[in-house]
Structure 1
């Protein structure tokens, strides 16, 4: 097995794609999968701020945090800390972004 250095320096964000099925379409304004939309929002925000290399944002299958009408998101720091959130993928994304910026600074 070959060991590689971490391509991101501060951590990784995992966004559950399965959660989209449990969120009522009435609660979403954007078209498409809420996990993909949140991923693109976060990636664009980090890239624009110059922090794109500090954090990786990816979608994943079920995180096993199943709460109706919420999106499961996990942040795993390269320092070993892991946090999991159940958020609204549109209304709470600015708050999540702010929290993640604090974690990677």
Structure 2
């Protein structure tokens, strides 16, 4: 019985050796050394976005986290962040700028300001600005920053 087990183990080892040698990756092209060879990156489709003037990223967690930590229960169907987003969208539409700009809700951006909302303005010419805004009192100021990206 011991001899049979030894033979089976030897056979299994032989099979694994043969199997592993057939799975080895093929060598890189000969004109590259193995240390510097980098596999080609496949192309990914791209497009020119409608919102050429910029993106407005609004953190969706800022006001939610603040209300969740309070001791009293707040019955709100819409958060201050969502209200700010809706206001920005309607204002951009009213001024005929919707489409040139895009207002997008994001998850937590990791800043978590007290009684404020994180808004990131992104434009290919200006770069990026991170603002801490009061969703009620700083609306017009935020909108003026957004309109400045248009110039």
- TM-score over 0.5 for the alignment? yes
Question: Which structure carries more strand by proportion?
Answer: 1
Counterpart residue number, 1:14 = 57
Relative to the length of structure 1, the TM-score reads: 0.86
Unmatched tracts of structure 1, length 5 or more: none
Per the TM alignment, residue 31 of structure 1 is displaced from its structure 2 partner at its CA by 5.7
Moved over 2 A (4+): 21-25
Alignment partner of 1:88 out of 115, 131, 134: 134
Give the root-mean-square deviation of aligned CA atoms.
1.8
Alignment partner of 1:54 out of 100, 125, 138: 100
Unmatched tracts of structure 2, length 5 or more: 1-43, 71-75
In the alignment of these two chains, the number of paired residues is 101
Q: Higher Cα Rg: structure 1 or 2?
A: 2
Relative to the length of structure 2, the TM-score reads: 0.61
**Higher RCO, Cα 8 Å, sep 6+:** 1
